[in-house]
Each structure stands twice: as structure tokens, then as C-alpha cells.
Structure 1
Amino acid sequence: MTKNMGSLDKTVRLIAAVVLIALAATGTIGGVFAIAAYVVAAIFVVTSMVSVCPAYLPFGISTRK
């Protein structure tokens, strides 16, 4: 796959992942919402590491410069 994420996009996703993990880990959100937060955080971390956002692909979006 062609990389389509720039450094700002990756940074924002990683920060969002940390916030979601912190909210779930501290019990601020619980139950199904905590599980969803962990899943979304994991997706954000993986997409940031590989610099590819599958949701951008069908629309031809790229935040790389």
C-alpha cells in the first residue's frame, strides 16, 4: 500500500490513542465504551506506525507532503 499519512496526522492519532487508553485505563469510561476506546486506540497506533489510513484510500486522500 502507498503511504498516505503525514507526520502531523500520525502525531494527532498517537495523541488521541494515548488519551483514549488513559480514559479507559483510569475507569473514566467503562464497559463497552472502554473496549471500543482500546480498539480505536489500537487502530490509531497501527495506522500511525505503517503510515497508511485505509479510510483515506477510496477517496484518494493523502496528508503526506
Structure 2
Amino acid sequence: MKKTFSHCDWCKKLAFVEKLTYMDGYVNCCCDSCKQTALLDIKRYNHEESVTPQKEMLKRQHA
């Protein structure tokens, strides 16, 4: 991915950052130091977003 020189959304330092996108379209910038944390957060968020409709459907079926 293309890196730009900007502030990292995680550590707030000025560095070369990579833009990462969440499933809902939100874009977050991270530096190399914060990349693993950012990727884990995005993975967890995207998983929760994809599971939420299934949880709602199960709640309605049991109600």
C-alpha cells in the first residue's frame, strides 16, 4: 500500500503511515510501530460487525 507522511491515529506521532479501512468504510492511519495493533483492531471490529446481524436474528427467533 502507498504510505504518506502524516500523524498516526494510534500513537499520534508524525511518521510515514498506511491507510487501513474498516468494513464500514472508516479509514484509519497507522505507522509501522502500530500496524499490528491496528490490524487486530480492524479484524476484531469487522468480525463483530459481520456477526451482529446473525445475533439479532437469533434474538428474534427466541423471542
**What is the TM-score of this pair, normalised by structure 2?**
0.38
Q: Which has the higher strand share?
A: 2
Q: Which has the higher helix share?
A: 1
**What is the TM-score of this pair, normalised by structure 1?**
0.37
Name the structure, 1 or 2, with higher relative contact order (CA <8 Å, separation 6+).
Answer: 1
